[in-house]
Structure 1
């Protein structure tokens, strides 16, 4: 059986490739972040400690962070369960106040990812986690996107996110298998 193999490259602001995701069919089979080689999503997340609860799903990372997914939010928690980052959906940036605020209509805002003040060596890995988890969250909670708004879906982050969606059925099924009671 022949598998389609594609590679998603992530570049820094200067155009250097800093990470890549290798896809075999619809699965993220290999992830490289800097010089760190990761064999798929199982190594990226601490799958032995995933908690799938009725109202939220908690996915620990290799670092001492946990992603919390709910139908309404995607948050990054530290080891004390304090929110240190997350996704702000349909927000606008207020430059005078230097903060984000909810948009007044569904097509006026953009999605912003705040990863706080993570060290550089963790920032890129949490970005990769976000790309993978945002699609998983959409599928788990049947979240639909507003489709008639501005060209927001054409951004680089959105294109990478759409590519990342291919891996999530496999990740979701793997997480359910590893967290199911024996």
Structure 2
């Protein structure tokens, strides 16, 4: 009498725990802004200097983002670790091939977020911050309007994308940027 594994003809392969975890994370559902951020306090960071000539998902210079505001764990100097959750909002400038990027941190309590940022923000002239309430509308028109309001500009934007850094094992920036759906 044959067992069910004999009927399939394929041997059962036992995976290492890290490999099982990696496969499990790859099979998770698509992340959305509504699941990640809606209902939380948000702080947007913008600068007119944060215009890049390449998209975050199509470059080998992914870590140029650290030229922007970044949040690092002072106890881990060897690898960049972020103390607050954040996403990157990438706005394609209309009529050019350039991209404006903003960083959004989010949390349940704005006072705790500001307390954490006091120790972690890289100082850079020209950064503008804006606090949004949990009921912020994450549609493209709202993001474009907010961007122009903060930068005191009148830019036209094409595609707007949201990114979150995903690194399963926090191994010295060996992860990748994931697009988050609205």
TM-score interval for Structure 1 and Structure 2 normalised by the shorter chain: under 0.3
- Structure in which a larger fraction of residues adopt strand: 1
Larger Rg: 2
Name which structure has the greater RCO, CA cutoff 8 Å, separation 6+.
Answer: 2
Normalization by structure 2: what TM-score? 0.27
